[in-house]
Structure 1
Amino acid sequence: MSRALCAAGPSLECGSCFRIEMGSVVAVVVCDIILTLLIIISVMCFAIYQKKRSHCDSNGREKQTPTQKNMPEVTESPYQELYGVQTEVYSNLQQLGRT
């Protein structure tokens, strides 16, 4: 019995199916892991480089962040303000309940 993997399943008689050597399977898995690690490391390096670049100006010095005094404070509320008690809304409901 050879040390091969059959694409049809682990049977003794492969017949016309494609045989894959175990060394080839191991090589593909190891190369896949190595390439995945290289991609992860390159993405991390690129992200760190971009983060450093966004914090520095063209001369390599850190950008000055605006202070709280320079920043205008936004106090506009996204909610509608309430203007006292509005009884006409509830009076319509009371009329519907009586009928």
Structure 2
Amino acid sequence: MKKTDLAKSDAKKIMNQMSARNASFGGAAAAPVDKREQRERDRALGLVPFAVKLNGELVAQLQALAMERGVDMNQLVDELVRKGLEG
């Protein structure tokens, strides 16, 4: 076996090992969500898609607040809109 063939073989082994590690990393959390199933779940919960355009600074504040509270952006916006409509 040539030196270059040996190097290629070693590189393939390393790549296979890395891909096997990455495939197991994250487990079920990395499983793709079927969009149709997600829409059905949202519909069952009474959720409706509602797109708006907001200022970039406001979005950054919302994202920071969501991360600070440890909640989903949808939950945060729902809470804030409900509070705004109440008062």
Normalising by structure 2, we get a TM-score of 0.32
Higher normalized helix content (fraction of residues):
2
Normalising by structure 1, we get a TM-score of 0.28
| Higher-Rg member (1/2) | 1
Higher normalized strand content (fraction of residues):
1
